[in-house]
């Protein structure tokens, strides 16, 4: 039934494509965009995008986009599902990479592929890592989502502190290079035992930050066919968990706070944290805060166990058009907005404002982007990581959300509470995934 509904929606869009998109400038159509970007550099980037659209393409064609902050990805997912039941849904919605698949399953999304064909949108300009994600089977005429704010973890470091000690990092550091660098930055008051400068930490959901480590060892956490856990059965997960716990026990690694990322970030801004791994989506704020604190910032790619088998997670969100309850006119107005934000100019402005990775191939040759990367080389590290990145949506299976929740809770217990050993964590993981598979 869901496939039939999706097919009918696609057919409706194809039939509608014969008519030109034209709205009344004096009585424009207004569409809502529900999102997660409520503050800081992220909100600044989004407001800039919406304002520029409304002042240009929107004004020309009679379209007004209203952005509405709705909370985190889980909140947006749930609110969209509920809104479609009362005909109060938005036209555009930002779906988290681990959340929007439910919208696909429920048949809520519009297929943008016919619209792309009609308007000449170059699907091939999207980076290859995003082709083939759920809803992006372009070989079969399906494009239900569009990469928007995608991110990778990167290694931020206090270059001022590092330079003072003659320390450097390559663009792609190995795990050992990262740890040696962190140990060298670590400082303890010998008299009191108080830590003056922590060496490093990792911030964010462990399902986003940590699951690439086993893949670097040659064994993904979940098999591509979702038949089991190669990392668990091979011992790669145990090695990574044992290593990680040993970094905490050695002292130079500061566990993440249960309250979130803010305490460690504040230490970083105060010069009391040498380096940290977190999302490039935080780069805009981190760049500003470090500059205000008087420190030079350095950024390199996510550390790897094996330079020849590199891997990193690609997180973030996709922009979707909600078909359920919306008219063809509204959907096509939403497509105008999507085309606008995929231009080189807007991809560039998003990247330099927020730090989220550019999602297109042409941006590499866009002169303002090239100039910005030359002047701010730390921004290009995240874009380079996409070459070996794997989108968090893979592998696609119903248990992904439950698995991620299990991983986050497990790593919290092991690394932050320290109440279990790595061996106990592995056995706990084994017991929990038995039910998922």
- What the block records as the tokens of 186 is 């670590």
Q: What is the pTM of this model?
A: 0.89
> Of the candidates 31, 38, 81, which has an alpha carbon nearest to the alpha carbon of residue 61?
31
What is the dotted CATH code of the domain comprising 2-151+314-377?
Answer: 3.40.190.10
From the list 284, 263, 247, 251, the residue with the least C-alpha distance to 40 is 284
Give residue 383's pLDDT: 94
- Chunked mean pLDDT (size 10), the chain, 437 residues: 45 43 78 96 96 97 97 95 97 91 93 98 96 90 96 97 98 97 97 96 92 95 89 96 97 92 96 97 94 97 95 95 97 98 97 94 97 93 93 80 85 94 94 78
Q: Is 115 exposed, middle or buried (0-12, 13-18, 19+ CB in 10 A)?
A: buried
Domain boundaries, the chain: 2-151+314-377
Cβ atoms of 230 and 223 within 8 Å: the answer is yes
């Amino acid at each position: 039934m869901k496939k039939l509904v999706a097919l009918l929606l696609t057919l409706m869009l194809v039939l509608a494509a014969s008519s030109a998109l034209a709205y009344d400038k004096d009585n424009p159509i207004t569409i809502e965009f529900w999102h997660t970007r409520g503050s800081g550099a992220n909100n600044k980037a989004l407001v800039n995008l919406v304002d520029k659209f409304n002042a240009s393409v929107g004004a020309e064609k009679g379209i007004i986009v209203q952005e509405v902050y709705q909370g985190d990805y889980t909140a947006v997912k749930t609110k969209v599902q509920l809104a479609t039941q009362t005909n109060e849904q938005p036209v555009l919605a930002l779906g988290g990479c681990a959340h929007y698949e439910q919208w696909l399953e429920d048949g809520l999304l519009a297929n943008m592929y016919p619209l792309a064909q009609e308007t000449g949108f170059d699907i091939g300009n999207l980076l290859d890592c995003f082709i083939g994600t759920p809803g992006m089977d372009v070989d079969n005429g399906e494009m239900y989502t569009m990469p928007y704010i995608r991110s990778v973890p990167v290694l931020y470091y206090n270059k001022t502190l590092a330079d003072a000690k003659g320390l450097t990092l390559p663009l792609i550091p190995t795990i050992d290079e990262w740890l040696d660098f962190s140990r060298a930055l670590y400082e303890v008051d010998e008299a009191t035992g108080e830590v003056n400068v922590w060496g490093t930490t990792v911030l964010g959901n462990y399902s986003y930050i940590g699951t690439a480590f086993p893949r670097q060892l040659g064994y993904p956490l979940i098999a591509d066919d979702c038949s089991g856990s190669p990392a668990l059965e091979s011992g790669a997960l145990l090695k990574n968990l044992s290593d990680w716990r040993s970094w905490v026990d050695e002292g130079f690694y500061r566990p993440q706070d249960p309250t979130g990322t803010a305490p460690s970030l504040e230490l970083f801004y105060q010069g009391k944290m040498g380096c940290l791994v977190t999302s490039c989506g935080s780069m805009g704020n981190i760049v500003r805060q470090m500059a205000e604190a008087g420190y030079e910032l350095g950024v390199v790619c996510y550390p790897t166990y094996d330079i020849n088998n590199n891997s990193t997670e690609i997180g973030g969100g996709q922009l979707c058009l909600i078909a359920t309850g919306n008219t063809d006119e509204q959907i096509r107005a939403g497509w105008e907005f999507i085309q606008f934000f995929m231009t080189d100019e807007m991809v560039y402005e998003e990247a330099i404002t927020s730090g989220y990775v550019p999602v297109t191939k042409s941006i590499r040759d866009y002169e303002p982007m090239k100039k910005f990367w030359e002047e701010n080389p730390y921004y290009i590290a995240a874009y380079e990581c996409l070459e070996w990145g794997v989108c968090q949506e893979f592998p696609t299976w119903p248990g992904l959300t439950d698995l991620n929740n299990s991983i986050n809770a497990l790593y919290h217990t092991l690394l932050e509470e320290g109440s279990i050993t790595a061996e106990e964590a592995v056995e706990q993981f084994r017991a929990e995934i038995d039910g998922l598979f």
